[in-house]
Amino acid sequence: LMPKEATRYLELDPWAIVERGFHPEEGEVSESLFSLGNEYMGVRGYFEEGYSGPRLVGAYFNGVFEEYDFHHPQTFKGFATRGTFMVNSVDWLHARLWIDGEQLDLAVSKFTDFERRLDLKTGVLTRSFTWRTQSGKSVRVHFERFLSMAEARLGMQRITLEAVDSPCSLTAETGLDLSLPHMDQGGKNYWTVLRKTIPLGDRRAFVGPDANPTFQGLLLGQTERSRQRVLSSFSLRASAPVAPEAAEAEKLIAGRLALELEPAKALTLEKTVVNCVEKDPAVPDEALLEQGRALLEAHRDTGWDQALAASRAYWDQVWQDLDVVIEGDPENQQGVRYCIFQLHQTYHGQDPHLNVGAKGLTGEAYWGATFWDTETYCLPFYLFNNPQAARNLLLYRYQTLPQALERAVEMDCQGACYPFVTIDGTESCGVWQHGNLEVHIGAGLAYAIRHYVRICDDRDFLYHEGIEMLLQISRYFASRGEWGPRTGQFGMWGVMGADEFHMMVHNNCYTNFMVKKCFEYTLSVLKEMQEKAPQQLAEVTEKVGLEEGEPREWQRMAE
């Protein structure tokens, strides 16, 4: 095992993750730790105003991916040929600030009193510091952001600036940027802009606390190969009257404003962002545009406080239901609450077409893909506090059953071979030692179905989706395993076990035991359905073409 070492630079707090004083050497780690998500989308904790030091600006949408071809030195049957990855998307937090012509960049700017705080109770990320400019001015800067848990497509950003000791000239820019590079794929940008509009005749709008209309912009982009689309639109309000101008580049739209900051008179810029995803290329652009426009109009007058109140009410209920109190151990108290927070903001059962990526929605590592970790390690969390989310995680696997059936054919097997790495249900692991040999994925799914039914007693799921998956998984293992010539026992040959290290192993203990449990549980469900759900049993056996002798053979294999 490779040792991992962590440097403690964050403060202990039972309800927050707090960084006092900037630690640039931990910058990209902090971006991950301070990430936000709401299952639909996620955003890293990067500095929205720009930063010339090491960083990864990342904004992602769950299940929105790009694809590429694997190029193996030699190709054999069963090798995956296509990879997918959750693609870096639109920087909807894009902002730039200048004081007296000097641009804010914490890699080079002088500043004091830096604090960054993620409030676990509310899901709000804040950052504040005092900027000391080269012209000798001091400006207090405060950034806030959150992703709504009440309306998954809604993101909010607020920037507050206040001159400390003397007046100064502020230029501020905020908008949408679709030019982000995907660093894990060589820094390439995978988006084509289909539509870019600022719907104002003279491209100027009066922005103020009571102004109507606000400054608005819209950006529609599409990935190169997968042809998935993201529509991002925003409206901007300011606490003082100002007339923004449009700022544009090839893949950027923004509003830019200029005004004088006076001491003791704070200026607040408030941005409401609506992000809509369409994964089906057959849906017309106009339908997506209309959806985005309607949603932005619906939230036109919502404002920060109202949107936060709705989102906070959601989190209040979460903590009422899920909180774990640990007395006398502040480190574990903070850690457990942070884990609950991250798990819930990554996935809470909103959409059965989505799943839990290995790194959640926090970055590019592990490609935003689903592994067997979901059923084995994540599902138990939801079983006891959110049964619907647990059900939807299993429904994701049912909805990708057709791809698992196709994968089994690629492997010269029968039944369903569930992928080691996936976003859309296809095998996306380019390393054959893992993608072809780690066959325990389906067994973990069968075990998860067993746990779900035992705890949630969802017979409707078991007698429909559950049993169909169990039959096809058992059929796969029956075709994948071998009978030992010396022992006469059935087992899995030429596999890689759950340690993900030793390959081409015969009779790996974990794999064999899990396959045995899969056979036994499938047989027990068949017996139960014969007594309690004969009609559903007849339907599913006809659907999968179950032959009379198959269950008997599975029984013999399990012994």
For 36, left (φ over 0), alpha (ψ -120 to 50), or beta?
beta
Alpha helices in 14-106 (DSSP H): 27-33
Residue 2's pLDDT band (boundaries 50, 70, 90)? very low
Residue 199: predicted pLDDT: 55
Indicate whether 281 and 339 sit together in one domain: no
In a domain, 302, yes or no: no
Nearest to 426 by CA among 182, 81, 89, 185: 81
Please report the beta strands in 164-214, taking only residues with DSSP state E, as ranges in sequence order.
168-177, 191-197
Place of tokens 């993620």: 118
Q: How confident is the model at residue 1 (pLDDT cuts 50, 70, 90)?
A: very low
Asked if the structure places residue 315 within a domain, the reply is no
Residue range 337-365: mean pLDDT, rounded: 96
We report the CATH number of the domain holding residue 248 as 2.70.98.40
Residue 281 and residue 337 in one domain:
no
pLDDT reported for residue 203:
45
Give the model confidence (pLDDT) of 43-53 as tens digits.
999 999 999 99
The answer to whether residue 392 is domain-embedded is: yes
Closest CA to 438 of 450, 455, 420, 451: 420
Q: Give pLDDT tens digits for 262-292.
A: 999 999 999 999 999 999 999 999 999 999 9
Paired tokens of 224: 């190169």
Residue 85 near residue 369 (C-beta atoms within 8 A): yes
Q: Are 192 and 285 in contact (CB under 8 A)?
A: no
Q: Considering only 82-86, 310-314, 498-502, which range has the smallest mean pLDDT?
A: 498-502
The answer to whether residues 393 and 492 belong to one domain is yes
Domain assignment present for residue 42? The answer is no
Q: Which of 236, 262, 288 is the last residue of a domain?
A: 288
Q: 344: domain CATH number?
A: 1.50.10.10
Q: Let me know: does 256 contact 173? Beta carbons within 8 Å.
A: yes
**Residues 244 and 333 occupy one common structural domain:** no
Shared domain for 489 and 426, answered yes or no, is yes
Contact 108, 270 (CB under 8 A): no
User: What share of the chain in percent tops pLDDT 70?
Assistant: 96
Tell me what pLDDT residue 241 has. 86
| Cα-based distances in Å from 23 to 11, 106, 142, 274 | 13, 11, 18, 32
Distances (CA, A) of 501 to 317, 432, 443, 461: 42, 13, 19, 35
Are 361 and 503 in the same domain?
yes
Count of beta carbons in the 10 Å neighbourhood of residue 454: 10
Average pLDDT score over residue span 234-247: 89
Tens-place pLDDT, residues 454-482: 999 999 999 999 999 999 999 999 999 99
Has residue 20 been placed in a domain? no
Where residue 211 falls among pLDDT bands split at 50, 70, 90? Answer: low
Q: Are 283 and 368 part of one and the same domain?
A: no
Structural domains counted in the chain: 2
Judgement on whether residues 339 and 449 belong to the same structural domain of the protein = yes
Q: If we measure between CA atoms, which residue out of 73, 269, 87, 255 comes closest to residue 162?
A: 269
Question: How is residue 402 written in tokens?
Answer: 């057709």
Mean pLDDT (whole number) for 181-206: 79
Same domain membership, residue 338 and residue 256: no
Tokens for 382?
A: 């939801």
Q: What is the per-residue pLDDT for 16?
A: 99
205 is in which domain, residue-wise?
87-288
Tell me if 353 is assigned to some domain.
yes
Measured in residues, the chain has a length of 559
Residues 261 and 402 in one domain: no
> Which one of 268, 288, 308 terminates a domain?
288
CA distance 234 to 178: 14
pLDDT, one tens digit per residue, over 373-394 is 999 999 999 999 999 999 999 9
Cα→Cα distances 112→12, 105, 159, 531, Å: 21, 13, 18, 72
- pLDDT (0 to 100) of residue 5: 62
Assess whether 371 and 250 both reside in one domain.
no
Inside any domain, residue 374: yes
DSSP, residue by residue, 357-400? -TTTTS-SGGGG-B-THIIIIIHHHHHHH-HHHHHHHHHHHHHT
Beta strands in 12-55 (DSSP E): 16-20, 36-37, 41-43
- Do the domain assignments include residue 366? yes
pLDDT at 121: 98
Of the residues 264, 288, 312, which one is the last residue of a structural domain?
288
What's the CA gap between 197 and 494, in Å, rounded? 56
Look at residue 207 in the predicted model and tell me its pLDDT: 57
95-127 pLDDT, tens digit each = 999 999 999 999 999 999 999 999 999 999 999
β-pairing, 95-99 vs 168-177, is antiparallel
Statement to judge: residues 370 and 226 lie in one domain: no
